[in-house]
A and B are shown apart, each in its own frame.
Chain A
Amino acid sequence: MTVSSRRFLALLTPVLLFAVVAVVWHVLVRWLDIPKVILPSPLEILSALWQERWVLLKGSWVTLRAAATGLVCSAVFGSLTAILFSQSVVIRTALYPYVIFLQTVPIVAIAPLLIIWSGNNFRTIVLVATIISLFPIIANVTSGLLSINENLRDLFRMGSASRWQMLIKLRIPAAIPQLLVGLRISAGLAVIGAIVAEFFVGNSGTYDGLGTIMTARQANLKTPQLMAALVACTGLGILLLLVVNLLGATLLRRWTKHSGFESE
C-alpha cells in the first residue's frame, strides 16, 4: 500500500465509522420513538447547530479566549516553576506536594470559591483554566529539564559551563519536546477548566461563553441545542490541540527533519 493510499484510508475510516454510528443513532431514535428532550437525532443536533451558529460562534470565541489565555498562563508559570524545581532538590522536595495538590484538587469544588474571591468575570475563568492545566506542564517540563542525556551534560561540564549556561544552552532547549507534550495534555484541560468555570459564572448573566450557553439550554430542556453546544466544545478542544500540534511541528521541525543526507 502506498503512502498516499494509507493517508486516504486513515482519513476515510474514521469518517465512515462516524457516518455508520450517526445512521444507527438516527434509526434507533426514530424506531424507538425517543423524545428529543432525552436524545435528539443527529439531524436535530445538526439543525440546532445551524440555527444557533452565531450564538455558538460568539460563545466559542469567548471560551476560546479564556482557555487559550489560561493555557498560556499555565505554560509560563508552569515552565518557570519547573525551572525553579530543576535548580534545587530542596525547592523541588518542598514544593512538589503542593503541585500534586493542584492535580488532585477537584476543580468543580474550588470553582465557586474562586468566584467568591475573584468575581463573576473573565479573570476567574482564566484562573480556573490555568489551575486545571498547570500540572501537566510542571511535571513534563521538570522531567525534560532534569533528564538530560549524560554525554551532553558531560560535554558542558568539560567546557566548564556555568549553571546559567547549562540552563540556557542545554536544559531549556532540551526540555522543549517535553513542554509540548505537557501543552498537548493541558490544551484539552484548559478548555474543560474554562467550560466548568463558565457553568458557575454563567448564571450571573454577565458572561456568555459555551459553558454559560449550555447551562441556559439545560435549564430550558433544549437538549438538541445543548448537544449542539457540546459539539462546539469538542471543536474548541480540537482547535486548541491543533494549534499546539502546529506549534510543536514548527518548533521541532529542525530537530526531526530527515532530508536525504548524503551518503559517506
Chain B
Amino acid sequence: MIRCRSLKLAFGNGSARQTVLDQLELDVAPGQIVSLLGPSGCGKSTLLRVVAGLVQADQGEVYIDGEFVSSKRSNASRETMSFVFQEPALLPWRTVWQNVRLPNELRGQLTPPRAELMEDLLELVGLRRSDWTKYPSQLSGGMKMRASIARAMSTRPSILLLDEPFAALDDMLRSKLNDLLLAIALEQHCTMLFVTHNIAEAIYLSHSIAVMSRGRISENLKVPFAFPRSAALRSSGEFAAYYGQVSEALGKTQS
C-alpha cells in the first residue's frame, strides 16, 4: 500500500525556484497497478523517487504499508520495494546472473530459495541460460531490460516502481515486455506505480491511471477492463474509445 499525503517539493533557489510536487495526494491499494501519465516535467519521475525514498519531499509524508519513508535514513520499507529505471542500469563489469543477484547480495539474502527464484525469473523473462554468463555489452537493449526486470523482481518486492522502463524500445518489443511485466506483477501480487508517456501502455497495464499536471494528480481514471487482458484488447473498439477519454483528460492538463 502506497500513501502520499500533501507532498510538496520545489527545486532551485530564489526566482528560479520551481515547484515540482504541489500538495500531491495519492493512494495505491495493495496489488493495484497505477500508471502516472502527464506532460514532461509535471513531476512523475520525481514522485516515484520520493516514494522510493531517494528524494526527500519538502513537506508531506509517504507511507509504505503504514511505514513512514524518508531519504535521510535507510528503512525497512526499502526492503519491500524495487525500482526499474528508464535505462536498464546494469553494472557493465558483471554478468547477467551477477547483476540479477546484486539486490539480494547487498541485503545478504543469497539463500538457495532466492537463487531458485532468480533462475525462474530469468527463464520467465526469456533469457536463456547461455545468456546468463554474458556481460551487458553483449546484450541487445531488450535483453538488458529483461535482465533489469528480473533483477527488480529478484527480492520478491511487494511494491514495484517503474520509471518509463520501455521508453527506448520499439513498439513490438514494448508490447511483449508489457505482457511479461503484467504476468509477473499479477502472479506476485505486486503493487505497481508505473510512469509512462504512452497512453496505450498505461491503459493496458493498469487498474487505474493518475493524470498528473503541475505537480498534482489532476484526475484519477479507473480502467474498465478486467484482468487478465489479452493482446487483442489493444485493437478493440472499447480500447480505442477509452484511449480517447484518457487522451482528452491528458489534453486538459496541457491547455
Residues on A close to B: CB < 8 A? 149, 151-152, 154-161, 165, 169-170, 173, 176, 254-259, 261-264
Contacts and interface: CB of A to CB of B under 8 A. Distances in A.
A103 B92 CA distance: 32
A264 B106 contact: no
B137 A258 contact: yes
A259 B54 contact: no
B110 interface: no
B143 A258 contact: no
A154 B138 contact: no
A147 to B, nearest CB: 15
Given A173-B91, A254-B93, A255-B92, A160 B140 contact: no
B74 interface: yes
Nearest to B85: A151
A151 B102 contact: no
Interface string B187-206: 00000000000000000000
Interface residues of B, number: 32
B137 A256 contact: yes
B70 interface: no
Interface of B: 49, 52, 54, 74, 78-79, 81-83, 85-87, 89, 91-93, 102-103, 105-107, 131, 134-135, 137-140, 142-143, 173, 176
A254 B52 contact: no
A176 B103 CA distance: 22
Contact of B54 (A157, A255, A258, A261): A157
B13 to A, nearest CB: 20
Nearest to B138: A259
Given A156-B106, A160-B78, A169-B102, 18 more contacts: A152-B89, A152-B91, A155-B103, A158-B54, A158-B81, A158-B82, A159-B102, A159-B106, A160-B106, A169-B91, A169-B106, A173-B93, A254-B93, A255-B93, A255-B135, A261-B140, A264-B143, A264-B176
Contact of B85 (A155, A165, A169, A173): A155
Nearest to A259: B138
A154 B45 CA distance: 13
Contacts of A151: 85-87, 89
Contacts of A255: 92-93, 135, 137
A159 B107 contact: yes
Dominant secondary structure of chain A at its interface with chain B: helix
A155 B89 contact: yes
A154 B137 contact: no
Contact of A261 (B91, B102, B143): B143
Nearest to B172: A264
B91 A264 contact: no
B83 A154 contact: yes
Given A159-B102, A160-B74, A257 B91 contact: no
Nearest to B176: A264
